[in-house]
Amino acid sequence: MNLCIYRGRLVRDPQVKYTTSGKVVCLFSLAVSREFKNKETGNYDADFIPVVIWGKRGEYFGKTLTKGMPILVHGRTQTRTYQDNEARTIYVSECIASKIELLGKSKPNSNDNHTFFTEDPEDPFNDDNYPPLDLRYENEEIPF
């Protein structure tokens, strides 16, 4: 079973892009703190997890989520490769989201906490529904 669940904060505002066939894809990175302290620094390190959301909900999340928001992401891990400009093979592992829960307030001064499902009528776990991505991750902005 391929299942991943991450709790963290958005590193930056999500990016909404469109494939050449017109499908919508939303991309963002999630800063996820490790459960143990770094022996050298005494601080908690973080991992930066790329997250992908497809379809209309990806477009929605691109407008709704903002840098720093605490969220919980449910999905599956997918690994892909591409060639960079110097013909090196780059390997990318990312979470393909199927459910997102807002852990904080959705808007300042709001008491709303929401759970959003990203499932489309099509099976989101069927790779035949979506073309391979040709997106290269730029340097991620560190939230601290």
Q: Provide the residue ranges of all domains of the chain, joining segments of one domain with +.
A: 4-122
Residue type, 144: F
Candidate CATH numbers 3.40.50.970, 3.30.1360.120, 2.40.50.140, 3.30.420.40; the one for domain 4-122: 2.40.50.140
pTM (2 d.p.): 0.70
Residue type, 79: T
DSSP string across 91-135: EEEEEEEEEEEE-S-SSTT-----EEE---SS-TT-GGGSPPP--
At 111 the pLDDT is 52
Rg (CA), the chain: 16
For tokens 């790329």, what's the residue?
Answer: 50
Report H helices in 10-101.
55-64
Is the per-residue pLDDT at 128 higher than 60? no
Tell me whether residue 83 is exposed, middle or buried, using C-beta atoms within 10 angstroms of its C-beta: 0 to 12, 13 to 18, 19 or more. exposed
Residue-wise pLDDT tens digits, 88-123: 999 999 999 998 988 875 444 455 545 444 444 444
In terms of pLDDT, which residue wins out, 141 or 49? 49
Residue-wise pLDDT tens digits, 9-58: 999 999 999 999 989 999 999 999 988 888 888 888 999 999 999 998 88
